A and B are shown apart, each in its own frame.
Chain A
Amino acid sequence: MSASLVFFIVVAAVSLTSALGVVTSRWPIHSALFMLVNFITLAVFYVTLGAQFLAAAQVIIYAGGIVILILFVVMLIGSEKIGGPSGHRLWTPYAGVALGVLMLATMLYTFASSLLGEPGTADAIEAGHPKAVGMALFTQYILPIEMAAVLLLVALIGALLLARQPKAGS
């Protein structure tokens, strides 16, 4: 039981608890805050995996962008209109949970054989350094970067058009 394994178990417990909180919360504000905790625990995981640039990007993009956007929408719409779940079709939560447990069991069955496998090399600590990721992004993967930029531009224009207030005459 090394210190890194204990740390991993603690962070994993927080991550799974917050993920369950996202799914089972009655109010969307609580779900958004649980999701924020989950994103931060994932950023901690990325740091332990040696991906420092992606940990910073996770905090900036997800915790500092997407969660803020969702909180804006909850405040804009008004959380009294999007309250707790309604009560018809009583069997659907049980079916959903059963399917989720089945999916988790199949995934664990696939991973269980490798639980005793080799732990991997330790020389990848430098691989997630921002300089290394930046060099790879702008030399080998320059085309996906440009396409991601175009995608973000299209999404920006689309979101602006969709969320615009309808004109008085139309």
Chain B
Amino acid sequence: MVPTSHYLIISGAIFAIGAVGVLTRRNALIILMCVELMLNSVNLSLIALSRQWNNLGGQVFVFMIMAAAAAEVAVGLAILISHMRHTDTANIDEFRLLKW
């Protein structure tokens, strides 16, 4: 059986890669994808720890995270589409309508 720490290391690595993507990329769609990567890494670590401590609450929580992530992606993409209708760019440096 693969130890839990290995799954946690993979989860941490995917989270770090997603975080670097959110910090580095300037395309709003890529940033949304990197946020999904981070959410999935947390899912992996929750399921690994749920197996280690034999607690089903971890897997139920992952199900809730999946539902919340699906809702968030839908609304985020709708916001992106409606913004691109006005400004014709997906570069987040150009998203400055709320700036003072």
| Cross-chain contact A38 with B24 (CB below 8 angstroms) | no
Q: SS class of chain B's interface: helix, strand, loop or mixed?
A: helix
0/1 interface trace, chain A 127-144, chain B, CB 8 Å (1 if under): 110001100110001001
Q: Which of B3, B37, B60, B66 contacts A141 (CB 8 A)?
A: B60
Interface size in chain A (residues, C-beta < 8 A): 86
Interface residues of A, dominant DSSP: helix
Q: Are A121 and B54 in contact (CB under 8 A)?
A: yes
Please tell me if the beta carbons of A73 and B8 are within 8 angstroms of each other in the complex.
Answer: no
Q: Which of A56-73 contact B (CB under 8 A)?
A: 57-58, 61-62, 65-66, 69-70, 73
Given contacts A38-B40, A115-B3, contact A51 B51 (CB under 8 A): yes
A: which residues have CB within 8 A of B?
Answer: 4-5, 8, 12, 15-16, 19-20, 22-23, 25, 28, 31-32, 35, 38-39, 42, 45-46, 48-51, 53-54, 57-58, 61-62, 65-66, 69-70, 73-74, 76-77, 81-82, 85-86, 88, 92-93, 95-97, 99-101, 103-104, 107-108, 111, 114-115, 117, 119-124, 127-128, 132-133, 136-137, 141, 144, 148, 151-152, 154-156, 158-163, 166
